[in-house]
Amino acid sequence: MLNENCGSSRKPSLLSAVPPPHVAAMIGVTSPLLPSFVYINLRPGEMVITAQPAIITTLLGSCISICLYHPAKKTGGMCHCLLPSNRGTNRYKSPYNFVNDTISHMIEVMVNDHGIHLPEIKVKLFGGANVLPTGKPPGKEGDSIGEQNILTARSVIRRYGLEITSQRVGGEHGYKLFFNTQTGEVFLRFVTNRNAENPVESGRGK
């Protein structure tokens, strides 16, 4: 059984043993290339943390993903957030749509539920492409949703005293992310005109 905390429509301060239906359906589904690994695909507004070998994937545009990893415990987590915060919107029910709440929750789960020492958490940041402009003047800091997501993520990470060990953010195109929770490796498959290019290694947790 997968040992995870999966995002759905609950508050970030609460944990549930019941993952979203599509994630539950993937528990026990293995990757053909890594048969001992569970394969999990995250949708927008979802989060997972697991100590079981897993490949977590998601597709990013202006959204961001944070990958957290602990080398000794081989525990990893990833999220898919749409907006920097819930300020000014009640459109989304899942709290994991929002960068500020989600990152804080993930870190607290790893520390409090998985017994991980805070400074030992490895952090990687991805996404935030400039595909959803806000209408602000060009060149103004935070003039796209993607840039606002990046700035918020970096701010929350600094608040916890952590450093980003690897990142690929911004740009004009999205990509698909593949996170190996046992090694901390992250691979990207860039998406241009809806066609995926070859995967490239972005970084390895150490």
58 within domain boundaries = yes
Residue type at position 48: V
Q: Is residue 2 part of a domain?
A: no
Task: Tell me whether residue 4 is in a domain.
Answer: no
Indicate if the pLDDT at residue 12 is higher than 90. Answer: no
Confidence of residue 191 (pLDDT cuts 50, 70, 90): confident
CB 201 within 8 A of CB 185: yes
Dihedral through CA 141, CA 143, CA 157, CA 4, nearest 10? Answer: -170
Number of domains in the chain: 1
Strand segments (E) across 115-183: 122-127, 164-169, 174-180
Burial class (CB in 10 A: 0-12, 13-18, 19+), 115: exposed
State the pLDDT at residue 200. 44
- Determine how many CB atoms are found less than 10 A away from the CB of residue 13: 10
Residue, of 94 and 5, whose pLDDT is higher: 94
Helix (H/G/I), strand (E/B), else coil: 148:
helix
Does any domain span residue 59? Answer: yes
In a domain, 78, yes or no: yes
| Average per-residue pLDDT for the chain | 77
Task: Answer whether 186's CB lies under 8 Å from 66's CB.
Answer: no
Of the two residues 129 and 4, the one the predictor is more confident about is 129
What pLDDT band is residue 128 in, cutting at 50, 70 and 90? very high
Q: Which range marks the domain in which residue 54 is found?
A: 21-203
Tokens of 70: 């602990």
Task: Establish if 1 belongs to a structural domain.
Answer: no
Q: Is pTM, for the whole model, over 0.85?
A: no
Q: Does residue 5 fall inside a structural domain?
A: no
Q: How much is the pLDDT for 173?
A: 84
Q: What is the CATH number of the domain that holds 55?
A: 3.30.1330.200
